[in-house]
Amino acid sequence: MALEIRPLTQGEFAAEVVGAPPDLKVDDATLRDLEAAWFRHSVLVFRDLGMTPAEHVAFTRRLGPLHIMVPSEFNLPDHPEVWVVGNAEENGKPLGLRGAGMGFHTDGEDKQVPNAGSFLYAKIVPPEGGDTLFADMIGVYAALPAEIKAKLAGRRGRFSRAEMHAINYPDMRPYTAEELAARPDVYHPLVRRHDRSGRVSLYIGRWACDIEGLPKDEGRTLVAYLQEFARQERFLYRHRWLDGDAVLWDNRCTQHCATPFDEARYTRLMHRTTLEGAAPIMA
């Protein structure tokens, strides 16, 4: 099956896949081509899909083992690999997590083994607002000043669910003591080598607090600088969603951020599958 890969930015970051079947049932050779394009572009956009939850799960599973989100209250009962986000309700009950994805981050960065990738499928999207921003962290690292690269070399950041949960998810119920105990602080290399492509990126996000080996205030200041540096327009791709869109992104070398929309007027309903990852490699 011949697919066309069309770049969406001036560089290699982000590309659209043209010609994919609506259910994403592709042969092995096509899947290998898609995976190669994913590693090259970090973000792949598919249009006009019509996947069932089972097809969504089946395609993602071909890329690697799937992660089941916890707490599990917003996972589909028949397909727990599918996590639901958005403000849609049924009989007054929320179908998904509201406010998910606000603030630049990578999925699972606060876990010992972060997620490798995520595949978000648009079921219902608002006619305005609700875009998602993606940041090219390979390009971000390449553009960092030499003195900052030298300071980051060999260092790890501290990522804390306990410290940042209430800040990052103000609308979500607080974690219980048992849940927090299961998500202790973790330390990841700030300069990360991709385990499949070998490319090097800056690894930072909204769960980062400070930096191992630096005084706490200095580490916090540097984390804030890196987070702000990565948000520059030159590193970003903005995806304006349409019903039937799906975006596959690589958490090892991107960040992403949801943007708000008028929740009183519009409904947003999205399904996400998530790939398990490997322990980050220090570059």
DSSP helix/strand/coil, 151: helix
pLDDT value for 67:
97
**Gap between the Cα atoms of 265 and 274, Å rounded:** 29
Tokens found for residue 244: 């039937």
Measured distance CA(192)–CA(133) in Å, rounded: 21
DSSP state of 88: -
Half-sphere exposure of 9 (CA within 13 A, CB side): 21
Q: 136: burial class by Cβ within 10 Å (0-12, 13-18, 19+)? A: buried
Predicted local distance difference test score (pLDDT) of residue 181:
85
* DSSP one-letter string for 205-240: -TTEEEETTS-HHHHHHHHHHHHHHHT-GGGEEEE-
How many Å separate Cα 185 from the centre of its chain? 20
Q: What confidence score (pLDDT) does residue 184 get?
A: 94
pTM for the complete prediction? Answer: 0.95
Domains in the chain: boundaries? 4-127+237-276, 136-230
pLDDT at 76: 98
Those residues with Cβ within 8 angstroms of residue 18's Cβ, 6 or more apart along the chain or in another chain: 3, 4, 5, 6, 47
What single string gives the DSSP state of each residue in 8-26? SSSSSS-EEEES--TT---
β-bridge mates for residue 282, sequence order? 192
CATH 3.30.565.10 applies to domain 136-230? no
Q: Which CATH superfamily is domain 4-127+237-276 in?
A: Clavaminate synthase-like (3.60.130.10)
- CA gap 161, 110 in Å, rounded: 6
Whole-number pLDDT of residue 2:
83
Q: What is the mean pLDDT of each run of 10 residues along the chain (283 residues)?
A: 92 97 98 98 98 98 96 95 97 93 94 97 98 98 98 98 84 82 93 98 96 97 98 98 98 97 97 98 97
Residue-level pLDDT at 165: 84
Find out whether 85 and 261 touch, Cβ atoms under 8 Å: no
Identity of the residue numbered 40:
R
The answer to whether 207 and 183 are in contact (CB under 8 A) is: no
